[in-house]
Amino acid sequence: MKVIGAGLPRTGTLSQKVALEMLGFGPCYHMVNILTNLPLSKQWEEALDGEVDWDELFGEHESTVDWPGAFFYRQLADAYPDAKVVLSTRDPEAWEKSMRETIWDTIYGHSVQGHISQARELVDPEWRHYIRLMSRMWAAQGIFTGPQLRPGQLGEAIVRYQEQVQRHIPEDRLLVWSVQEGWEPLCEFLEVDVPDAQFPRLNDSKMYRDRIVDASLMVLKEWRERGGEVPEPAQQPA
């Protein structure tokens, strides 16, 4: 592991993933790894419970951004003392809006996206496990613990989190950076040349929503084709 992304989700982490891979620090682990291979959720829940072999979990990946990796930035910084840490940041108000419309909405919301995700939970145990993993991480980080949010709560949480990272990681090992700053600060910090290419700027919010809705609709379609039997409600963990 050469680069540890400590930034929260919704801080341009998909653009950061692509950028790191373009700079030679790939493959880069990202939440996309789990969304395309849901059984990986079990490994990360075991990590939450203290059972983890980082080398085995990350395999050939040379960098990690977004959750679940960023959730464990302190443990990873200790496990890989030569790795550099990048804290991707975002305006608190913009981050709160993005979170409400994507991740929080998927877990607790009442939009079409939220209802489709919740319907998938009823028929897809692997999706249910993923949602439980996400809920546990957000609660453990103290950012949100359920469907109740007051205005400004998430914006305050990202400021608090970013201050925490800067307290825990030495300055000479940490880059506090926004994807809006582009290549130069990132390349200088990682001691690599600036590539002769535009910095990748991906519309991660749209891609996230499309991925959640499209995959959930596909699962629900397959469930209906199998007969559409409604399972017993899943028992919530204590």
CA gap 216, 119 in Å, rounded: 8
Mean per-residue pLDDT for 211-225? 84
pLDDT value at residue 182: 96
Tokens matching residue 208: 């996230």
Q: Report long-range pairs for 162-166 (Cβ below 8 Å, ≥24 apart).
A: 162/87, 162/89, 165/6, 165/73, 165/85, 165/87, 166/87
Structural domain includes residue 231 = no
Distance CA 1, CA 60 (A): 9
Residue 230 pLDDT exceeds 70: no
Residue 167 has pLDDT above 70, yes or no: yes
The whole-number average pLDDT for the span 187-216 is 87
What is the C-alpha separation between 63 and 3, in angstroms, rounded?
A: 5
Over residues 108-165, the pLDDT tens digits come to 988 888 899 999 998 999 999 999 999 999 999 999 988 889 999 999 999 999 999 9
In a domain, 233, yes or no: no
| 178 within a domain of the structure (yes/no) | yes
pLDDT of 201 strictly over 70: yes
* 23: its two tokens: 């700079």
Query: Is 232 inside any structural domain?
Result: no
Quick one: pLDDT at residue 8?
97
Q: Please check whether residue 30 lies inside any domain of the structure.
A: yes
- DSSP string of the chain? --EEE-PPTTSSHHHHHHHHHHTT--SEE-HHHHHTSTTHHHHHHHHHTT---HHHHHTT--EE-STTGGGGHHHHHHH-TT-EEEEE---HHHHHHHHHHTHHHHHH--SHHHHHHHHHHHH-HHHHHHHHHHHHHHHHHTS--SS---TTHHHHHHHHHHHHHHHHS-GGGEEEE-GGG-HHHHHHHHT-PPPSSPPP---HHHHHHHHHHHHHHHHHHHHHHTT-PPPPPPPPP-
Q: What is the pLDDT of residue 34?
A: 94
Evaluate if residue 238 carries a pLDDT over 50.
Answer: no
Q: What is the pTM of this model?
A: 0.89
Smallest CA-to-CA distance from 172 within 73, 84, 59, 79 is with 84
Domain that holds residue 190: 3-225
Distance CA 19, CA 28 (A): 10
**Res 133: pLDDT:** 95
Measured distance CA(201)–CA(195) in Å, rounded: 15
Residue 142 · residue 157 · CB < 8 Å: yes
Residue 98 confidence (pLDDT): 92
Residue 30, token pair as written in the block:
């990202």
Percent of the chain with pLDDT over 90: 76
Instruction: State how many domains the chain has.
Output: 1
pLDDT-derived band at 222, boundaries 50, 70, 90:
confident
* pLDDT-derived band at 232, boundaries 50, 70, 90: low
The per-residue pLDDT for 236 is 47
pLDDT of residue 140: 94
**pLDDT confidence bin for 233, thresholds 50/70/90:** low
- Separation between Cα atoms, residue 23 and residue 29, nearest integer Å: 15
The verdict on residue 24 lying in a domain is yes
pLDDT reading at 237 higher than 60: no
Write the CATH number for 177.
3.40.50.300
pLDDT averaged over every residue in the chain:
92
Instruction: Kindly state the average pLDDT of the residues 83-99.
Output: 96
* Domain assignment of residue 237, yes or no: no
The reply to whether 235 falls in a domain is: no
